[in-house]
């Protein structure tokens, strides 16, 4: 069988999306729609949560969700697509952890560990962020290498989930 006849391997990727500027729900919905235009097949979307800002707290609340998708893209090609979607939706990077129209982070890519100047997978702060873990726990597959750690953190009674509130709008109803 020739190389061109071999079907492309689907890579499973978990993404975190957040917005706290303008029409936050519209930015999330548009970002999810744009993903599907770039060889990224969205399989699951978590409920949307309203969350308090972290690190740089002098800003508005965020809407956050997580997405499980399949893609034939490499991790760095996926990162390029994500940056192009963020730029298209008016994302600026003036203040670290500051306000943004849209923020899309790669949390997990298959079971890979990547540590380069451009990209670190698993995302280095994902297990410290309730605004990531709470929505992620709603969609993470048991086969994911991060499943046990995610679930044990989220369902630990001592884990601080304050500042993360279920938002009543679901993205898939708006697509």
Give tens-digit pLDDT for 101-152: 999 999 999 988 999 999 999 888 888 888 998 999 888 877 776 767 777 7
Give tens-digit pLDDT for 19-44: 999 999 999 999 999 999 998 999 99
Token pair 């893209």: residue? 73
154, containing H or E segment: helix 147-154
The residues spanned by each domain of the chain are: 3-173
Of 33, 18, 23, 121, nearest in space to 69 by CA: 33
What is the reported pLDDT for 26?
A: 95
pLDDT at 153 exceeding the cut of 80: no
Residues labelled as active-site residues: 91, 100, 103, 105
CATH no. of 3-173: 3.30.70.560
Residue 128: strand, helix, or coil: helix
Cα-to-chain-centroid distance, residue 106: 6
User: In this structure, what is the dihedral angle of CA atoms 119, 121, 125, 126, given to the nearest 10 degrees?
Assistant: 130
Of 11, 114, 26, 96, nearest in space to 63 by CA: 26
Which neighbouring-strand residues pair with 15? 67, 106
pTM for the structure as a whole: 0.86
Give tens-digit pLDDT for 65-82: 999 999 999 999 999 999
């Amino acid at each position: 069988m020739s190389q061109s006849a071999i079907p492309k391997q689907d890579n499973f990727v978990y993404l975190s999306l957040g917005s706290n500027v303008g029409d936050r729900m519209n930015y999330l919905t548009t970002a999810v729609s744009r993903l599907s235009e770039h060889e990224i097949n969205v399989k699951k979307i978590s409920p949307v949560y309203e969350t308090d800002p972290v690190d740089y707290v002098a800003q508005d609340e965020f809407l956050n969700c997580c997405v499980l998708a399949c893609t034939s893209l490499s991790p760095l090609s996926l990162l390029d697509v994500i940056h192009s979607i963020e730029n298209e939706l008016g994302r600026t990077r003036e203040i670290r952890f500051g306000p943004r129209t849209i923020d899309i982070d790669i949390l997990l890519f298959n079971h890979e560990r990547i540590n380069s100047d451009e990209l670190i997978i698993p995302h280095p702060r994902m297990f410290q962020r309730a605004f990531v873990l709470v929505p992620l726990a709603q969609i993470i597959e048991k086969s994911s290498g991060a499943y046990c750690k995610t679930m044990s953190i989220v369902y630990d009674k001592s884990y601080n989930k304050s500042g993360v509130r279920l938002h009543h709008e679901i993205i898939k109803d708006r697509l």
